[in-house]
Amino acid sequence: MRWYHEITPVEKRTLWSCFGGWALDAVDTQVFSLVIPSLLATWSISKGQAGLIGGATLVAGALGGLLAGILSDRVGRVRALQITVIWFSLFTFLSAFAQSFEQLLVLKALQGVGFGGEWTAGAVLLSETMNPKHRGKAMGIVQSAWGFGWGAAVLLYMAVFSFASPQWAWRVLFAIGLVPALLVLYLRRNVVEPPREPQVARDDVAPRGTFGIAAGIFDPAVIRTTLVGGLIGLGAHGGYHAITTWLPTYLKTERHLSVLGTGGYLAVVIVAFIAGCFLSAWLQDRIGRRWNVILFAVCCAVMVNIYTFLPIGDTTMLILSFPLGLFSAGIPATLGALFNELYPQGVRGTGVGFCYNFGRIVSAGFPVLIGHMSASMSLGAALGIDAGVAYGLVVVAALMLPNTRGRLVPAPQPGSVRNDAPAASRN
């Protein structure tokens, strides 16, 4: 951790603010996957309907991520982060009062808008604040916050379900989702806006308006990056959300684990996820973002199919949970640095928001598809097939991008979004 002592107080405050925001976001989001069995029983809904709630949240998250990217290019990274944190906290809290499947569907979709937006605003803020040689490590550490938040969600789940009946416990968990709004108070006092490049501040943003900023990522100079980045986002989110949405239900309904047993298995995956983020953080600053993504995608595709297809016992499954969690962490821990290093500042927030969140629109079909596929095959088989296809797409798309490592694209010339400097260093 020698590098941590080299960064400035401003970089440290920004790092931990983004870390806290992402961890709290994970708590709010992961609670849903843990309470699916309770929702199935409370409202007698099908697995397909439960998957639809998860899918709607992902679609809304994609829209929120894109909107937050545009917003951060318009009003600044810090202000956009504040808005998204308040948004997802409020609608998670309101979800506790849903009286029907339809109401919960709408509230979770609205929560997803803030969920997707928070990552985008925070990733761009951290990328522009950190020293380039430490950007990958900082992004990886912030991504590990998802594991800490996931772990906190599991602990809350076990604690609340130990004293409250299932029909009330899930409401208590959603109500706790208001807590992240307190982070805004810290953001207002301790985190500063990164400086704008002179050309961006003078010409690139305000005159073009919101539509111009959004359209800028489809400029001929960067459209290939936008399309390929979107495919990576699709595969990464498709595989990851297929696993995290249905893994608790798979362990409970097909492996017949108790609530405590499910928590024990998830604990291994979560610890491994955190370790994988730290490994990815260290590795991506050495071999570059592209090869790091490919390495972890291949390993994850192999592991998830071993985990779900082979006739293995509980002990072996517990052991294999560690590499599954480790490899699933490497891709999201790399995407923040990768996407930020492909766009100029004037459209960076929009570009990062699109690449990371576009995949959520289409990948929202993965949880829904798994739910429907499980009607004609085992849930584990449906999970393994969908995740394998998703991670294969990541590998193919990543091969089409340059291997970025530490360089941000400078501001474009007036009236254009041209990339006149190399988007990234290449190995």
pLDDT at 422: 37
Phi, psi (deg, nearest 5) at residue 414:
-55, 135
Q: Does residue 203 register a pLDDT over 50?
A: no
* Greatest CA separation for the chain: 63
The average pLDDT across 256-261 equals 58
214 pLDDT band, cuts 50/70/90, is low
Cβ proximity of 342 and 356 under 8 Å = no
Q: What's the half-sphere exposure (Cβ side, CA atoms, 13 Å) at 32?
A: 28
Mean pLDDT, all residues of the chain: 80
What lies within 8 Å, CB to CB, of 376 at 6+ separation is: none
Bigger pLDDT: 146 vs 198 = 146
Q: Does residue 209 register a pLDDT over 60?
A: no
Alpha helices in 288-378 (DSSP H): 289-309, 314-330, 332-340, 348-363, 365-373
Terminal-to-terminal C-alpha distance of the chain = 26
180 pLDDT band, cuts 50/70/90, is confident
Q: Does residue 1 register a pLDDT over 60?
A: yes
pLDDT at 421: 37
215 pLDDT band, cuts 50/70/90, is low
Helices 223-253 and 289-309: crossing angle in degrees, nearest 10, is 30
DSSP secondary structure of 155-215: HHHHHHHHHS-HHHHHHHHHHGGGGGGGHHHHHHHH--PPPPPHHIIIIISGGGHHHHHHH
DSSP secondary structure of 110-132: HHHHHHHHHHHHHHHHHHHHS-G
How far is 322 from 310, CA to CA, in rounded Å? 16
**Other C-beta atoms lying within 10 Å of the C-beta of residue 189:** 8
Top CATH class, 8-190+200-398:
mainly alpha
pLDDT at 198: 55
pLDDT at 194: 82
pLDDT at 213: 54
How far is 414 from 117, CA to CA, in rounded Å? 28
How do residues 25-42 score in pLDDT, each as one tens digit?
888 778 888 888 888 887
407 pLDDT band, cuts 50/70/90, is low
How do residues 113-167 score in pLDDT, each as one tens digit?
888 888 888 888 998 888 888 888 898 899 899 888 888 888 888 888 888 887 7
Domain residue ranges in the chain: 8-190+200-398
**Other C-beta atoms lying within 10 Å of the C-beta of residue 425:** 13
CA distances from 207 to 74, 200, 201, 202, 203 (A): 11, 10, 10, 9, 7
How far is 79 from 116, CA to CA, in rounded Å? 15
